[in-house]
Amino acid sequence: MFKVYVLYTGGTIGSAGTPLAPVSGPDFQALAGSMPGLADGRVTGQPVSYRMDWFERTLDSSDMGPPDWFAIAGRLLEHYADYDGFVVLHGTDTMGYTASALSFLLPGLSKPVIVTGSQVPLSVTPNDALANLTGAILLAGTQAIPECCVYFDSRLMRGNRAVKVSTNQFAAFASPNLPNLATVGIGVTVNRALVRPAPDPSVSLSVPANLQALRARLAEQARAAEGFSVVLLTLYPGIRPGTVEAMLAGTQPPVAGVVIQAYGAGNGPSGADFLEVLSRADARGIVLMDNTQALTGAVDSGAYATGLARAGTVGAQDMTPAASFAKLVALFSRGLAPEEVKRLMGTDLAGELTVPVDPLLL
């Protein structure tokens, strides 16, 4: 019998009332246990059992931030040795951020961690909640996928590649720059060529010493993350240098990193005043990520004269803005120097970006 740990954090899947608000953990556990296929802590007809857990305070994901990411990661590590897979129930609004963060906060992951939720609460009929919950538990228990993923509408996506694309369709998430890892229908189809390999024993969390070391480090990272901030800067026609300066200078806690949501292949205003604001931030040690507002494709910030590479930005390649944001938080919380953070932001750590192929090697 495979064992799955399910952590309910809140979100639409467990919401009720008008306006909707997340119910308590015990109430959601009772509701889930009354659903077809999930009675008695088992998935009917499958060799999978599950245990429901929760935080004392349930949240809409719009209220969640980095401290919650560390809390979720810590709770998963607390139970890591006792289960074959993990499911995190979460609101959809910031699900991509949390799934991305977990992929960076849990290096050495050797078991599935699947983040899911729903567009319609489990208490309402019809809903997408039951299928998402059941499918996520089934995948977490039976599939050897050592990654943090998002499962929605029968599709399993790499978590740091997932983007919310709809507010009113059951297919709420997509993975624009990477095919799905698996689909669930009559059976389960896994794209094994895309699934990341099991970690080396030197870092694998299946090794007790590694697990214990990461638990201690995460506690330190959570404290360190309180001392800095990461901001999102969306470019728009007519953006003023003074507006950007106000976001990056003199804030408390100080800004350590910026995810710039630029145009197209990483373009932005080419005025000297605008670029000077970014260059001064770079000189102060603020890491500037050059992401694109486009849903698909990659950044090439040196391709056009309006590219932002001249200001010291790091091209995000095909990372999502959420992945860039979460990765900056994870790296700076480790106490790394800006130059090392810059290097690692351009390095594939958890499948979050596609490493360009050197044409000379083809």
What positions carry a catalytic annotation?
12
Could you tell me which of 184, 164, 189, 182 has the C-alpha nearest to residue 174? 164
Q: Is the peptide bond before 321 cis (omega within 30 degrees of 0)?
A: no
Which residue's entry shows tokens 């007790």?
Answer: 208
In the 8-state DSSP scheme, what is residue 347? Answer: S
**Whether 301 contacts 275, CB under 8 Å:** no
User: Alpha helix locations (H) across the chain?
Assistant: 25-33, 66-78, 95-105, 129-142, 208-224, 241-248, 272-283, 321-332, 338-345
The two three-digit tokens of residue 161, written as one number: 């590649």
Q: How many Å apart are CA 75 and CA 96, to the nearest integer?
A: 19
Helix (H, G, I), strand (E, B) or coil at 174: strand
Q: How many Å apart are CA 123 and CA 120, to the nearest integer?
A: 8
| Terminal Cα-to-Cα distance of the chain (whole angstroms) | 46
Burial of 271 (0-12, 13-18, 19+ CB in 10 A): exposed
Could you tell me which of 184, 121, 189 has the C-alpha nearest to residue 154? 184
Q: How many Å apart are CA 178 and CA 150, to the nearest integer?
A: 13
